[in-house]
Amino acid sequence: MLESKDKDSLEIKISDFGFSCFFDPKKGLDLVLGSPLYMAPEIIESKVYNEKVDIWSIGIITYMLLTGRTPFPGSNKAEIKNMIVTKPINFNQEFLKHLSKNAIDFMQKALIRDFVKRYSAKQLLDHPWITNMSK
């Protein structure tokens, strides 16, 4: 959600914490929760997962905010889920040409299918796209 209607003030609030829960990193989670478009591949594949599913969602939200499009434009939930698990995201599309290399790299790091290789929250906060914006 946008905090203001002022187009020069892009203050964003992430909402919908209806599925939030306490997480034990030793056990992980295996519940299938959330909206399909924002689900990480490991949720769709019914694997035990960790906090990095939220990093995936941040990658999806960032992609949508910067492009006005979804990276997985399926016509139904099943198609979207299949695309999330199988379709590589093409970061060379014409509508991405206006974005900085750092912005694209940020999304790429958040949207790595293998959650072991996917960036952590700390790594994303230290990413040049974030750190350079605060200067």
Q: pLDDT tens digits, residue range 25-54? A: 666 555 556 678 988 999 889 887 688 998
- Residue 31 is classified by DSSP as -
pLDDT at 48: 74
Contact status, residue 97 vs residue 103, Cβ threshold 8 Å: no
pLDDT at 133: 80
pTM: 0.80
Q: Name the residue ranges covered by the structural domains of the chain.
A: 40-129
For residues 101-112, average pLDDT = 97
Q: Give the separation between CA 37 and CA 26, rounded to whole angstroms.
A: 27
User: Reduced to 3 states, what is the DSSP secondary structure of residue 14?
Assistant: coil
Tokens 């992980």 belong to 28
Backbone phi and psi for residue 62, each to the nearest 5 degrees, phi listed first: -60, -45
Domain 40-129 carries which CATH code?
1.10.510.10
Type of residue at 27: K
Tens digit of each residue's pLDDT (9 = 90 or more) over 76-85:
999 999 999 9
